[in-house]
Amino acid sequence: MNVPAQVTAFLSGKRFVVAGVSRSDKQPANAVFRKLRACGFEVVPVNPRAEELEGTTCYPDLTSVPGDVDGVIVVTPPDAAAAVVHQAAARGIRQVWFHRSFGEGSVSEEALKACLGHGIRPIVGGCPLMYCEPVDVAHRCFRWWLGRHERIPV
């Protein structure tokens, strides 16, 4: 599998925040959270409306998460993404990945401008499930299709 350098650099981290993990375990953020955890990463969920998700302490925002964080996966509604970027920048986190498969996903123009303003080079599109081995058949297909439509990192 050809993995973009930016994805390899992101996944070289040890501890990630997934912003947007839901109380409904069927949401994309929850799938990202579970896959990263299954791959051996330490993963922290962020949701302002939950104290615990997926059996793990949940924090209302990135500012509240204790300890070091290597990267943030944004799987929030687009209108919440810029706030996550500003919180990441305030903590010195320089790796932000915006989840997007079909539609706009978590990407917003405001969030991308915030990244630029803070010197963060974001990963826009796709998700870690397309790169964390073993990759399931569905995410291999997504990676292929989204790659053909320039909707994942290259």
pLDDT single digits (tens) 16-59:
999 999 998 889 999 999 999 999 999 999 999 999 998 999 99
Q: What is the mean pLDDT of the chain?
A: 93
- Both tokens of 25, joined, read 């375990």
Percent of the chain with pLDDT over 70: 99
Rounded Cα distance between 23 and 56, Å, is 12
Whether residue 154 is contained in a domain is answered as no
The pLDDT of residue 103 is 73
| CATH number where 23 lies | 3.40.50.720
pTM of the model: 0.93
Question: CA torsion sign, 67 to 108 to 120 to 144?
Answer: positive
Mean pLDDT for 70-88 is: 97
Whether residue 70 is contained in a domain is answered as yes
Whether residue 16 is contained in a domain is answered as yes
Q: Select from 19, 76, 64 the least CA-distant residue to 46.
A: 19
- Residue 65 predicted with pLDDT over 90: yes
Percent of the chain with pLDDT over 90: 81
The pLDDT of residue 64 is 97
Whether residue 45 is contained in a domain is answered as yes
- Residue 135 predicted with pLDDT over 80: yes
Whether residue 129 is contained in a domain is answered as yes
Whether residue 115 is contained in a domain is answered as yes
Residue with tokens 């290597």: 70
Whether residue 71 is contained in a domain is answered as yes
Whether residue 20 is contained in a domain is answered as yes
Residue range of the domain that includes 32:
5-148
- Residue 154 predicted with pLDDT over 80: no
Q: How confident is the model at residue 150 (pLDDT cuts 50, 70, 90)?
A: confident
**How many domains is the chain partitioned into structurally?**
1
